[in-house]
Amino acid sequence: MNVVELRQYTLRPGRRDELIELFEREFVESQEALGIRLPGRFRDLDDPDRFVWVRGFESMEARKAALEAFYTGPVWKRHGPAANATMLDSGNVLLLRPLGADFPAVVPPLVTVTISDPVEDFDKSSVCFETLDVENTFPRLPVREGEKVFVRFDFSGEAMGSLRLSRVGS
């Protein structure tokens, strides 16, 4: 994965489990079939109305092609309106590039994500990312622009960081 999206959705109160059930049932395999990696889908432990997920692509060109295929395809046409009905905001998206290790094959149940200013020193064996400062090749889905961030995923089970998440799905 050379291109990663960290997507944080603010949902209508009480609708998170509805979105997760729909997402797991309809959107995981349909995206993976297009070459999109989905290494993590999470509940925010501190906000019952937030759903956080990560998806990855080999390149910006692959991202554009896969997203065009998914969002014009039959699965999104059939189930997208139901997903959108659960959301208040889906625009909190960071476009990132990897700096360290890849996601583990099996993501542990508790994950902590820290989003900070860029750093020079970090453990290269950690799952870390920084802002990918390129043009968004799929403007239908906006990403946060003009920000430089460092993102670190911690799978140790320690609940410290800006986002404390519990894994969804397998």
Q: What CA–CA distance (Å, rounded) separates 136 from 146?
A: 12
Residue-wise pLDDT tens digits, 7-55? 999 999 999 999 999 999 999 999 999 999 998 888 888 899 999 999 9
Closest CA to 52 of 170, 163, 153: 163
Residue 74 has pLDDT above 90, yes or no: yes
CATH topology assigned to domain 3-167: Alpha-Beta Plaits (3.30.70)
> What value, to the nearest 5°, has the Cα angle with vertex 128 and ends 115 and 149?
35
**pLDDT of the residue at 121:** 65
Q: What CA–CA distance (Å, rounded) separates 55 from 39?
A: 6
Q: Where are the domains of the chain?
A: 3-167
Q: What CA–CA distance (Å, rounded) separates 28 from 118?
A: 31
Closest CA to 114 of 126, 101, 97, 132: 126
Rounded mean pLDDT, 64-68: 97
**pLDDT of the residue at 154:** 78
Confidence of residue 123 (pLDDT cuts 50, 70, 90): low
The 10 Å Cβ neighbour count of residue 6 is 23
Q: What CA–CA distance (Å, rounded) separates 45 from 96?
A: 23
Q: Chain-wide mean pLDDT for the chain?
A: 87
Confidence of residue 125 (pLDDT cuts 50, 70, 90): low
**pLDDT of the residue at 85:** 98
